[in-house]
A and B are shown apart, each in its own frame.
Chain A
Amino acid sequence: MSVRIFIPQDTTACALGANQLVLAIEAEAERRNIELEIVRNGSRGAFWLEPLVEAEWEGKRYAFGPVTANDVQALFDGGFPGETQHALSLGLTEEIPWLKNQQRLTFERAGLGDPLSIEHYQLLGGFEGLRKALELEPQAIVDSVKESGLRGRGGAAFPTGIKWQTVLDTAGQQKYIVCNADEGDSGTFADRLLMEADPYQLIEGMAIAAVAVGANEGYIYLRSEYPVAKKILQQAIVEAEAANWLGKDIQGSGKDFQLHLRIGAGAYICGEETSLLDSLEGKRGLVRFKPPLPAIEGLMGKPTVVNNVLSFAAVTTVLARGAEYYKDFGTGRSRGTLTLQLAGNIKRGGLVELAFGHTLRELVEDYGGGTATGRPMRAIQVGGPLGAYLPAPQWDVKLDYEALAEIKAMLGHGGIVVFDDGVDMAQQARFAMEFCAIESCGKCTPCRIGSVRGVEVIDLIIANDNRAANRDLLEELCETMEHGSLCAMGGLTPMPVRSAMRHFSKDFER
């Protein structure tokens, strides 16, 4: 009997040489006359161990990592794929503490098998949520999502159930389900990981939304920077249609849901939901005034559910296992699990899914293991490029929406980017403004012009040109952007800038 070997096809695994590794392992096995069956699974999200190779023996999976093509011969010499004492041997995959200690719901299946195998997905509980939804009245589905306490995982944290209720209550022949898969925040990759490792979960979540609000058409708006996710989603949609989990008369229920994949074109702003809708309509991605809410007048002016990848994914758990089950994870008004992404200068980076309420320090120290460079950590940016930079005294903050808001920070999409003591925070503040200037849609003045002026003023502060007055001016500019911008891009760009000035003041006085 041949041994099954798992080597991820995930972007990060491939970026670290997984494809070359497959060739090397195949060649070495052939040379030694060992029969192997190689499965290209998704990643489990332990990116620090990628490429993570697993060998399956008697139903148990043993991990090796990080393995490069250069290690292959020594690995086989040590007994691979059988028992081996090789230095890269990590023992049973499920016993790796970094993975074992997580509370995985959304990413429970990630990395277990071929992401495109519908059989595998169903074997592990896939489509149970949709199956249940098809038997429920629309209002009962929406109630369930409301009861779960699920809040939008894209960053704004708006209660998902309330959004769905609005769409359900709005009369209309044509309604749409739109997935925001334009994951542009630096330091985030949870959406990508889910789409690459467990794409049917997103499809299932969107189909549940369609059944709940009475929509028969949906779009996934995927950023063009994710070529691997694109390939996997394209195929997953075809397979799901063939298995009648999409398309006409889903599983004989009489319900239709047609799902399309659309690719963005490199504009960060299209992650803002109204800009995304304009982009889907074939226009420049300009932010719209609200109201009207997309739930009432969204895509093509029709009632539209717009949710993040992880929100749709979470809904499958809510439906399959019940709102109570989901709600039991978490704390206060932050229910369920949170997917945190350890990134930047971090020793053990990757995806950590935990119930809300763990501290930032636990994440970066216990899971992250400190910096990759081995130097002291100095600043942590939480919540993407629009999130605050936190100094050491704030690292004991609990990771939930309210606790972060209290210290003028935000959780956003759960990205955690660590910087060591080599960071120049004045430059980071400058970059926040620069990024806003590059990516602003240009519709409102505070964002379009404020960001350009922000770069100029920070340059003057750094150059010690009328420093005190310019610091005051920058504060004033930030206030104008916060209160006067049309969307979160201009409105939140001051968050990293002000946090840098507040907590790392001396970097502006060099």
Chain B
Amino acid sequence: MQDVVDLEQTVTAIVVDHAGQIGALMPILHAVQEHFGFVPQEAIPLLASLLNLSRAEVHGVMHFYHDFRSQPAGKHVIQVCRAEACQAMGSQDLEKHIKDLLGIDFGQTTADGQFTLEPVYCLGNCACTPSLRIDDDIHARVTPKRFEQLLQSLLEPSA
């Protein structure tokens, strides 16, 4: 019950923060996701009523964009670039290695809740590929071995 009240208060406060903005739904969804780590299902009817939109419209916007998720992500989000400039430097092999290593496919989270794996189409790091992004850090010329080191440093941040 408390959770529902919290959600309502938080979402309402976010909407108030964006009052008067053109096309506020996008920045609002970003803010909701920033707060909760995802866009909770219960937020959709709430946003619809606060913004005078239909639930279908809010749902439609949320699911149109790859960034918005309806489930919590793992502790770290790993985005592997699948686009051409990375392909030219062997990103398909890297992608396969990462999937094997983590034991998950794109769109999935490891059982321990540590990592969510997502595809991304270009990180703008195309001169030093393959590229991937872990949370807000982008990494260049990532080899399978380099990825394993990165993974290790995330698992043991003190090391």
B89 contacts which chain A residues (CB < 8 A)? 344-345, 372-373
A138 contacts which chain B residues (CB < 8 A)? none
How many residue pairs, one in A and one in B, have C-beta atoms under 8 Å apart? 156
Interface residue from A265, A279, A344 paired with B88 (Cβ < 8 Å) = A344
Does B127 lie within 8 Å of A342, measured CB to CB? Answer: yes
A244 within 8 Å of B (CB atoms)? no
B86 within 8 Å of A (CB atoms)? yes
Q: Which residues in B have some Cβ–Cβ distance to A below 8 Å?
A: 22-27, 29-30, 57, 60-61, 64-68, 81, 83-89, 120-129, 131, 133, 136-141
Does B86 lie within 8 Å of A225, measured CB to CB? Answer: no
A294 within 8 Å of B (CB atoms)? no
Whole-angstrom distance between the alpha carbons of A53 and B148 in the complex?
Answer: 28
In the assembled complex, the CB of B80 is this many whole angstroms from the nearest CB of chain A, namely: 12
Does B27 lie within 8 Å of A343, measured CB to CB? Answer: no
Does A189 lie within 8 Å of B84, measured CB to CB? Answer: no
Instruction: Evaluate whether A186 and B126 lie within 8 angstroms (CB atoms) in the complex, with A263-B27, A263-B30, A418-B88 already known.
Output: yes
In the assembled complex, the CB of A232 is this many whole angstroms from the nearest CB of chain B, namely: 13
B122 contacts which chain A residues (CB < 8 A)? 183-186, 188, 225
A189's nearest neighbour on chain B, judged by CB, is: B124
A189 contacts which chain B residues (CB < 8 A)? 124-127
B140's nearest neighbour on chain A, judged by CB, is: A15
Whole-angstrom distance between the alpha carbons of A207 and B128 in the complex?
Answer: 34
Interface residue from B29, B60, B133 paired with A265 (Cβ < 8 Å) = B29
A431 within 8 Å of B (CB atoms)? yes
Does A385 lie within 8 Å of B22, measured CB to CB? Answer: no
Which range contains the number of A residues in contact with the other chain? 35 or more
Can you list 30 pairs linking A and B with CB atoms under 8 Å apart? A14-B138, A15-B128, A15-B139, A16-B140, A183-B122, A183-B124, A186-B85, A187-B83, A188-B124, A192-B124, A225-B124, A226-B124, A265-B29, A265-B65, A266-B66, A267-B64, A267-B65, A268-B121, A282-B24, A282-B26, A283-B23, A283-B57, A284-B61, A285-B65, A345-B89, A350-B127, A415-B126, A417-B84, A417-B126, A431-B84
Whole-angstrom distance between the alpha carbons of A417 and B130 in the complex?
Answer: 13
Bitwise interface map of A from 430 to 466 toward B, beta carbon under 8 Å scored 1, else 0: 0100010011010000000000000000000000000
A219 contacts which chain B residues (CB < 8 A)? 22
Interface residue from A284, A300, A350 paired with B64 (Cβ < 8 Å) = A284
Does A281 lie within 8 Å of B121, measured CB to CB? Answer: no
Q: Apart from A186-B83, A224-B67, A279-B23, what 7 extra A-B contacts exist at CB < 8 Å?
A: A186-B86, A189-B125, A226-B124, A262-B26, A282-B26, A283-B57, A343-B88
A423 within 8 Å of B (CB atoms)? yes
A149 within 8 Å of B (CB atoms)? no
Interface residue from B84, B124, B127, B138 paired with A385 (Cβ < 8 Å) = B84
A418 contacts which chain B residues (CB < 8 A)? 88
A48 contacts which chain B residues (CB < 8 A)? 127-128
Chain A residues numbered 10-45 whose CB sits less than 8 Å from any CB in chain B: 11-12, 14-16
B124 contacts which chain A residues (CB < 8 A)? 11, 183, 188-189, 191-192, 225-226
A373 contacts which chain B residues (CB < 8 A)? 89
Whole-angstrom distance between the alpha carbons of A47 and B141 in the complex?
Answer: 12
Whole-angstrom distance between the alpha carbons of A420 and B139 in the complex?
Answer: 23
A277's nearest neighbour on chain B, judged by CB, is: B23
B57's nearest neighbour on chain A, judged by CB, is: A283
Instruction: Evaluate whether A346 and B60 lie within 8 angstroms (CB atoms) in the complex, with A15-B138, A184-B122, A224-B67 already known.
Output: no
A339 within 8 Å of B (CB atoms)? no
B30's nearest neighbour on chain A, judged by CB, is: A263
B125 contacts which chain A residues (CB < 8 A)? 11-12, 15, 189
Does B84 lie within 8 Å of A265, measured CB to CB? Answer: no
Interface residue from A16, A225, A346, A349 paired with B123 (Cβ < 8 Å) = A225
Whole-angstrom distance between the alpha carbons of A426 and B93 in the complex?
Answer: 17
Whole-angstrom distance between the alpha carbons of A431 and B65 in the complex?
Answer: 20
Does A439 lie within 8 Å of B24, measured CB to CB? Answer: no
Whole-angstrom distance between the alpha carbons of A263 and B65 in the complex?
Answer: 12
A14 contacts which chain B residues (CB < 8 A)? 137-138
Q: By CB atoms of chain B within 10 A, which of A219, A268, A343, A418 has the most?
A: A343
Instruction: Evaluate whether A341 and B126 lie within 8 angstroms (CB atoms) in the complex, with A14-B138, A227-B136, A284-B61 already known.
Output: yes
In the assembled complex, the CB of A17 is this many whole angstroms from the nearest CB of chain B, namely: 9
A428 within 8 Å of B (CB atoms)? yes
B29 contacts which chain A residues (CB < 8 A)? 265
A267 contacts which chain B residues (CB < 8 A)? 64-66
Whole-angstrom distance between the alpha carbons of A119 and B74 in the complex?
Answer: 43
A15 contacts which chain B residues (CB < 8 A)? 125, 128, 131, 137-140
A489 within 8 Å of B (CB atoms)? no
Whole-angstrom distance between the alpha carbons of A266 and B124 in the complex?
Answer: 13
In the assembled complex, the CB of A121 is this many whole angstroms from the nearest CB of chain B, namely: 22
Interface residue from A12, A184, A284, A417 paired with B121 (Cβ < 8 Å) = A184
B133's nearest neighbour on chain A, judged by CB, is: A225
In the assembled complex, the CB of B38 is this many whole angstroms from the nearest CB of chain A, namely: 13
Whole-angstrom distance between the alpha carbons of A266 and B79 in the complex?
Answer: 12
Whole-angstrom distance between the alpha carbons of A438 and B139 in the complex?
Answer: 24
Whole-angstrom distance between the alpha carbons of A187 and B123 in the complex?
Answer: 9
Whole-angstrom distance between the alpha carbons of A265 and B27 in the complex?
Answer: 10
In the assembled complex, the CB of A197 is this many whole angstroms from the nearest CB of chain B, namely: 13
A346 contacts which chain B residues (CB < 8 A)? 127
In the assembled complex, the CB of A386 is this many whole angstroms from the nearest CB of chain B, namely: 11
A150 within 8 Å of B (CB atoms)? no
Does B67 lie within 8 Å of A12, measured CB to CB? Answer: no
Does A428 lie within 8 Å of B128, measured CB to CB? Answer: no
A133 within 8 Å of B (CB atoms)? no
Does A283 lie within 8 Å of B61, measured CB to CB? Answer: yes
A381 within 8 Å of B (CB atoms)? yes
A419 within 8 Å of B (CB atoms)? yes
Does A344 lie within 8 Å of B121, measured CB to CB? Answer: no
In the assembled complex, the CB of B59 is this many whole angstroms from the nearest CB of chain A, namely: 10
Does A282 lie within 8 Å of B25, measured CB to CB? Answer: yes
